[in-house]
């Protein structure tokens, strides 16, 4: 599941400090997927350690879910310049890594629109998709997916914060971590 630290599959390698690999329980039934590393993640090599990570930690705590009981990853493993959204070709370059992480999970929770669009293969509106469970077939693998808000949305949006906590609580139950 770890990406080669010298990976050069796409242009994101040109500006990164380091590859940000998944973190947490590798055998967890629950996988959380973010968009991509930010500046703090690029510096530390760990997902969700910056401002959004602090919100994720708060929401996990409110949902009574331990961070070390889940596996956390991103759609892309290298930081996009100026924290822009990853481009389709960059997402495609990292997709094999993500596909390695999907089998055996009871529930996959994409956090935010970018991760959700990557898994569902279509544009989404988070207000319509958040906390709705569905089965998806990706490259022949059937996975149960429940999109929810990205922790960065919690910074300014109280509704997103409530929905993220609710989604994490649902994820805890559905994944068997309760």
Domains of the chain, residue spans: 11-175
Can you give the pLDDT at residue 1?
60
Residue 95, pLDDT above cutoff 80: yes
Residue 131, pLDDT above cutoff 90: yes
Cβ–Cβ < 8 Å for 47, 23: yes
pTM of the model: 0.96
Can you give the pLDDT at residue 111?
98
Residue 30: C-alpha distances to residues 15, 82, 159 (Å): 31, 30, 23
Cβ–Cβ < 8 Å for 68, 78: no
Split at pLDDT 50, 70, 90, the class of 73 is: very high
- Tokens 């599959």: give the residue: 9
Can you give the pLDDT at residue 166?
98
Cβ–Cβ < 8 Å for 23, 66: no
Residue 28, pLDDT above cutoff 70: yes
CATH label, 11-175, candidates 3.90.1150.10, 3.40.470.10, 1.10.260.40, 3.30.2270.10 = 3.40.470.10
- Tokens 């992480």: give the residue: 101
In angstroms, the CA 30 to CA 34 distance is 13
Residue 5, pLDDT above cutoff 90: no
Cβ–Cβ < 8 Å for 157, 112: no
Residue 138: C-alpha distances to residues 32, 72, 97, 132, 143 (Å): 16, 19, 13, 18, 8
Residue 42, pLDDT above cutoff 70: yes
Residue 67, pLDDT above cutoff 90: yes
């Amino acid at each position: 599941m770890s990406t080669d630290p010298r990976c050069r599959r796409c242009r994101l390698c040109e500006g990164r400090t380091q590859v940000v690999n998944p973190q947490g329980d590798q055998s967890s039934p629950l996988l959380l997927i973010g968009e991509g590393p930010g500046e703090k993640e690029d510096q530390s090599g760990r997902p969700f350690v910056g401002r959004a990570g602090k919100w994720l930690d708060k929401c996990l705590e409110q949902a009574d879910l331990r961070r070390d009981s889940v596996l956390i990853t991103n759609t892309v493993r290298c930081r996009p310049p100026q924290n822009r959204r990853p481009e389709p070709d960059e997402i495609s370059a990292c997709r094999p890594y993500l596909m390695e992480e999907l089998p055996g999970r009871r529930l996959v929770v994409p956090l935010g629109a970018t991760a959700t669009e990557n898994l569902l293969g279509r544009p989404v509106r988070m207000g319509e998709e958040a906390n709705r469970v569905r089965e998806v077939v990706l490259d022949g693998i059937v996975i149960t997916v429940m999109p929810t808000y990205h922790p960065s949305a919690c910074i300014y949006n109280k509704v997103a914060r409530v929905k993220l906590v609710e989604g994490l609580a649902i994820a805890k139950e559905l994944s068997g971590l309760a």
